[in-house]
Amino acid sequence: VQLVESGGGSVQAGGALKLSCAASGYSAVTLCMAWFRQAPGKEREGVAAISPGSGRRWYGDSVKGRFTISRDDNQRTIYLQMNSLEPEDTAIYYCAADPFLGCLRGSIPPDNDFTYWGQGTQVTVS
């Protein structure tokens, strides 16, 4: 599985960005897929996850109500719509995927459960 993120950039506080993650080698509908982020000097943090099949969604507490994860099965792509961005959202955002996770624990699986990772895309909120 190869994951390629896009859509990062710089935005003012209160603005919005939409990230994309295109998966090749596997259908996105069969993968547990997630977004993580890592800010300088901080640990990697789970942002959102979407389960295979039914597409149940999970969010980190810091982004609930502001971010939305979605999936386009035909395009093998997941998205992260980020609204009401805050300077604290500044980080490198990573897409992750795994073909064996069910993503049905009721929360975002830990990062070390994911096998495949994208290269990351920078999001800066000022």
pLDDT at 95: 97
Distance CA 13, CA 117 (A): 28
pLDDT at 46: 97
Strands 121-125 and 57-59: unpaired
pLDDT at 100: 85
Strands (E) across 73-126 are located at: 77-82, 91-98, 116-117, 121-125
Strand partners, 124: 10
**pLDDT above 70 as % of the chain:** 98
Q: Give SS3 for 90.
A: coil
Task: Give one word for 13, left, alpha or beta, with left for phi > 0 and alpha for psi -120 to 50.
Answer: beta
Tens digit of each residue's pLDDT, the chain (126 residues): 899 999 999 999 999 999 999 998 877 678 899 999 999 999 999 999 999 888 899 999 999 999 999 998 776 899 999 999 999 999 999 999 998 887 888 899 999 999 999 999 999 999
Q: Give SS3 for 100.
A: coil
Q: What is the DSSP string of 72-84?
A: ETTTTEEEEEE-S
